[in-house]
């Protein structure tokens, strides 16, 4: 891919993420071809796509309550903690905060919401342990079996905003069979910034078109596609709980759409 082509796609990626329409301005996002024969590696969003963060955080809160006696609305707590994730990253990418890895941002958000949930009595040891709950998230039921199948054909890597140590600990805890642990931390930025996707392809020694980004989040995939990656959409309808509706409709702009990782392997002809 030429420098000019990459630059054009970066501009499109920024426009897509920021909600700016380029239609009619002489620029369009390249339509996906659906030809996946050149794909050699898959990179995966992790929070929500590979692991069920919400149920995991609720369970961690309930375990904390059992140990300490502190009570809270743990589903609301999980939602509030996760709700601070995007705004905190945007403060970093927007220059308001210096670079900080997700463990640091998670702790910042945690300390901010603790008073709202009546948890101010938690000591430093308890807070530090709770903050590491994100290292102990549980995978969706199909994740390990589906990834194991996909690994027989493709190199599999994380491409998460989670920091490297978090992703390594999560993989060890959950038995996730990655070939490589890549993180936005390695680009000193956060998805959906274009350099995160391009850095991953470069670190794998591949062209962007030889990498498929797999995610449950359409914005993540659109940003990846805009810089040349192939896209695999695997929606997780219950990521935010049973009562929150999210848009999981199939979208023809993505190269492949599957119901879970085993369905993804089936559609790619992996038995």
For the structural domain made of 3-50+138-267, what CATH number should be given?
Answer: 3.40.50.1000
Hey, where are the domains in the chain?
Answer: 3-50+138-267, 53-135
pLDDT, tens digit, 9 for 90 and up, residues 187-197: 999 999 999 99
pLDDT, tens digit, 9 for 90 and up, residues 143-194: 999 999 999 999 999 999 999 999 999 999 999 999 999 999 999 999 999 9
| 83 contact partners, CB below 8 Å, separation of at least 6 | none
What are the CA-CA distances from residue 133 to residues 18, 57, 70, 267 (Å)? Answer: 31, 7, 17, 34
Tell how far CA 247 is from the center of its chain: 17
pLDDT, tens digit, 9 for 90 and up, residues 206-244: 999 999 999 999 999 999 999 999 999 999 999 999 888
Angle formed by the axes of helices 85-93 and 74-83, nearest 10°: 10
| 5 contact partners, CB below 8 Å, separation of at least 6 | 228
List the end-to-end C-alpha distance of the chain, in Å, as a whole number: 33
Say which CATH architecture domain 53-135 belongs to: Orthogonal Bundle (1.10)
How many whole angstroms separate alpha carbon 213 and alpha carbon 36? Answer: 12
8-19 b/e with 16+ CB inside 10 Å = b?
ebbebbebbbee
pLDDT, tens digit, 9 for 90 and up, residues 88-137: 999 999 999 999 999 999 999 999 999 999 999 999 999 999 999 999 99
Whether the Cβ atoms of residue 180 and residue 173 lie closer than 8 Å to each other: no
Whether the Cβ atoms of residue 44 and residue 232 lie closer than 8 Å to each other: no
pLDDT of the residue at 72? 97
């Amino acid at each position: 891919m030429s420098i000019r082509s990459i630059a054009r796609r970066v501009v499109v990626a920024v426009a897509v993420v920021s909600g700016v329409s380029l239609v009619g301005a002489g620029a369009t996002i390249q339509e996906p071809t659906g030809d996946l024969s050149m794909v050699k590696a898959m990179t995966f969003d992790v929070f929500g796509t590979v692991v069920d963060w919400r149920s995991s955080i609720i369970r961690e809160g309930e375990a904390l309550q059992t140990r300490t006696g502190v009570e809270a609305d743990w589903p609301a707590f999980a939602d509030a903690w996760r709700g601070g994730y995007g705004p905190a990253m945007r403060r970093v990418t927007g220059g308001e905060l210096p670079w900080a890895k997700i463990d640091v941002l998670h702790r910042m958000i945690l300390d901010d919401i603790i008073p709202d949930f009546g948890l101010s009595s938690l000591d430093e040891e308890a807070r530090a342990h709770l903050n590491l709950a994100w290292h102990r998230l549980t995978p969706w039921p199909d994740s390990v079996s589906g990834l194991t199948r996909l690994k027989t054909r493709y190199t599999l890597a994380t491409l998460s905003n989670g920091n490297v140590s978090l992703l390594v600990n999560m993989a060890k805890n959950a038995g996730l069979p990655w070939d490589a642990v890549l993180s936005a931390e390695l680009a000193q930025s956060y998805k959906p910034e274009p350099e995160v996707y391009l850095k991953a392809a470069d670190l794998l020694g591949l062209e962007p078109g030889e990498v498929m980004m797999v995610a449950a989040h359409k914005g993540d995939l659109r940003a990846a596609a805009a810089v040349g990656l192939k896209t695999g959409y695997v929606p997780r309808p219950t990521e935010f709980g049973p009562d929150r509706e999210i848009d999981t409709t199939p979208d023809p702009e993505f190269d492949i759409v599957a119901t879970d990782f085993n369905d993804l392997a089936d559609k790619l002809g992996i038995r």
